[in-house]
Amino acid sequence: MEFFLISMLNSISYGLLLFMLSSGLTIIFSMMGVLNFAHASFYMLGAYFAYQISGWIGFWPALAIAPLLVGAVGMAVERYGLRTVHKFGHVAELLFTFGLAYLIDEAVHLIWGRSSVPYAVPPSLDGAAFTLFSTEYPIYRVFMMAVSISMLIGIYLTLTRSRIGLVIQAALTHPQTVETLGHNVPRVFMLVFGGGSALAGLAGVIGGNAFITEPGMAAAVGPIVFVVVVVGGMGSLVGAFLASLLIGVIQTFSVALDYSFVNLFAKLGITIGPNTPLAALWDLTISQTAPVLPYLLMVLMLIFRPKGILGTREG
Amino acid sequence: MLQVEDLHAYYGKSHILHGVHLQVGRGEIVSLLGRNGVGRSTTIKAIMGQVDAEGSVRFKNEQMLGLKAYQIAHKGLGYVPESRDIFPTLTVEQNLILGMKGAKPDKSARWNLEDMYRLFPRLQERARVEAGMISGGEQQMLTLCRTLMGDPDLIMIDEPTEGLAPKIVELVADLFNEIKNRGVSILLVEQKLAIALNISQRLYVMGHGRIVFEGTPQELRQNSTIRKEWLEV
């Protein structure tokens, strides 16, 4: 029970973090048709910016300034990069974001070095929030959840209650029609790209010190975010939300579970010895396969339900 | 009010319009006729800045070619697309609100929400319904009303009566006259010859990306050669 509750809380906080990343990616994709390969790099930038800024003026200002800076970088990338590349088609855009990811990677290497930086949880958020059975649950995890949930509500209100939100929703399906009604769609694209980048940056600010801030962090989280978007359904925010939580649960629980087929067969009365065919496979525990599970889920999803949980378009 | 001269347009490498010229005066209803695929829709898309085009499109003595679609809309050109591009996930009322160019209703605008609901009570009944859920005819009304909410001085309408029940077609024809009476010009792409002859002051017939006839409904009625060659199937 204790294991279950703690893992569940960890799953949710990790899942919410994934959603912060994937929500931007999925909105950008469905609106502009750009699958942004550099999205996880904005996550990394958020973490490094926060590390740098909190070194100067503390964590709390960094929490606000770092995502805004990342958002500004995102807007500049859209305005002066993607918009120019756009007329050469989606392949060019894809290659552009691919190159951008490398560029950001190298910039991070140059500025902050090749090893991890000591971006730590601020003292005011260090410690236990409450004790569940015998486990102390860290304040910072609770803080992460709070930030993610406020973000979630913020996105929801912006999209459904504000005028720009209506324009964004309309442009998700019919960007050209929205433009003929007199809305400055190129500017909306820029804002959405900036907003999505800022969200990724914010995820980096709160994820960077919860996990680790290092040049490999973009490459580590990038593929998972793509899994979330594919499983949730391209362009579906609600789908991305469900998929984020699902992947959060899968990743958190699977790491801790030591069951294998051997245990299962034993329950069924079949004994597996070292001489059984494929013995090594049956002996694998769930925790050993943990890193593969999200991708397995994605492959299964693409085979059986290519449009994802709630996606509207095929494949 | 609108002068189009020597308009050429391209989809990729294919040359669709070969020097189209046409004019629409203030408060005039002008129809653009022709068989499918002769470039009628492309003409109004090119005017609206949605297709790569060369030539001249002057509106209120300003050049429109080269402007972005949203800038053209702000100059007072309205466009009602053929494909009934309603925003399916938004409600009927939100669709109408997005027709307005500013955040707040413009008091001096010719049309407001109440006008639309008075003209089409059905839209009021369905105001809170997702626009993707209403019928095709209602969606057609909605696209038209949505563009009117932006208070255009000239409205270009692509195939407004396609697939509509005869009763609604009458309603649409009435609406066109009301639009005209409020001083708004209409450039209509229409398939149904009878309607076009009825409500237009002038007509153009297109063939192979060019204007092949220009005149009044009276003149087109008398010109059976043009009708046979370019309109009748």
Q: What is the per-residue pLDDT across B32-82, written as a single tens digit (0 to 9) for each?
A: 999 888 999 999 999 999 998 999 999 999 999 999 999 999 999 999 987
* B48/A186 CB distance under 8 A: no
Query: Cβ separation of B85 and A177 shorter than 8 Å?
Result: yes
Q: Is residue B61 part of a domain?
A: yes
Domain match, B86 and B146 both: yes
B97 and B62: one domain?
no
Note the pLDDT of residue A102. 95
Q: Is residue B34 part of a domain?
A: yes
Residue B19 sits in the same domain as residue B41? yes
CATH of the domain at B157: 3.40.50.300
Residues of chain B in contact with residue A172, where contact means CB-CB under 8 angstroms, are 89
In a domain, B172, yes or no: no
> Which residues 61-100 of chain A have a CB within 8 Å of chain B?
none
Indicate if B41 and B56 belong to the same structural domain. Answer: yes
Mean pLDDT (chain B) is 90
Query: In b/e form, how buried is each residue of A234-253, taking b as 16+ CB within 10 angstroms?
Result: bbbbebbbbbbbbbbbbbbb
Same domain, B107 and B158: no
The answer to whether position B5 is within a domain reads yes
Task: Name the phi and psi angles at B116, rounded to 5.
Answer: -65, -45
CB contact under 8 A, B101 and A166: no
Q: β-pairing, B2-11 with B52-59?
A: antiparallel
Final residue before a domain boundary, out of B151, B171, B199: B151
Tens digits of per-residue pLDDT, A205-222? 999 999 999 999 999 999
Could you tell me if B144 and B94 lie in one domain? yes
Which residues in chain A are closer than 8 Å to B90, comparing Cβ atoms?
Answer: 166, 169-170
Instruction: Give the structural domain span for B1.
Output: 1-76+153-162+185-233
Output the DSSP codes for chain B.
-EEEEEEEEEETTEEEEEEEEEEE-TT-EEEEE--TTSSHHHHHHHHTT-SEEEEEEEETTEE-TTS-HHHHHHTTEEEE-TT----TTSBHHHHHHHHSSSSS--TT-S--HHHHHHH-HHHHHTTTSBGGGS-HHHHHHHHHHHHHHT--SEEEEESTTTT--HHHHHHHHHHHHHHHHTT-EEEEE-S-HHHHHHH-SEEEEEETTEEEEEE-HHHHHH-HHHIIIII--
Confirm whether B167 is domain-assigned: no
Question: Do β-strands B185-189 and B202-207 pair in parallel, antiparallel, or remain unpaired?
Answer: unpaired
> What residues in A contact B72, CB-CB < 8 Å?
180
Same domain? For B158 and B44 the reply is yes
Interval A278-287 mean pLDDT: 78
Number of domains, chain B: 2
β-bridge pairing B202-207 and B29-33: parallel
Is the pLDDT reported for residue B105 higher than 80? no
* CA within 13 Å, CB half, A109: 9
Q: Average of pLDDT values for B165-178?
A: 84
B12 touches chain A (CB under 8 A): no
Tell whether B50 lies on the interface with A, counting CB pairs under 8 A. Answer: yes
Cβ–Cβ contact A310 with B under 8 A: no
Query: Going by DSSP bridges, is the β-strand pair B210-215/B202-207 parallel, antiparallel, or unpaired?
Result: antiparallel
B7, B113: one domain: no
Q: Of the residues B151, B170, B196, which one is the last residue of a structural domain?
A: B151
**Cβ proximity of A171 and A147 under 8 Å:** no
Question: What ipTM was estimated for this complex?
Answer: 0.89
Q: A173 CB near a chain B CB, below 8 Å? A: yes
Do B72 and B11 have their domain in common?
Answer: yes
Residues in chain A with CB shorter than 8 Å from the CB of B69 are 176, 179-180, 185
- Check if A180 contacts B (Cβ < 8 Å): yes
Q: Indicate whether B127 and B193 sit together in one domain.
A: no
Distance from CA of A31 to the nearest CA of B (A): 13
Q: How far is CA B15 from CA B44, B46, B52, B174, in A?
A: 15, 12, 10, 37
Is B198 contained in some domain?
A: yes
pLDDT of residue A257: 79
Residue B175 located in a structural domain: no
Residue type, A57: I
Residues B124 and B26 in one domain: no
Q: What percent of chain A has pLDDT over 70?
A: 99
pLDDT at res. A312 = 63
Q: B103 and B66, same structural domain? A: no
Does the residue B218 lie in any domain? Answer: yes
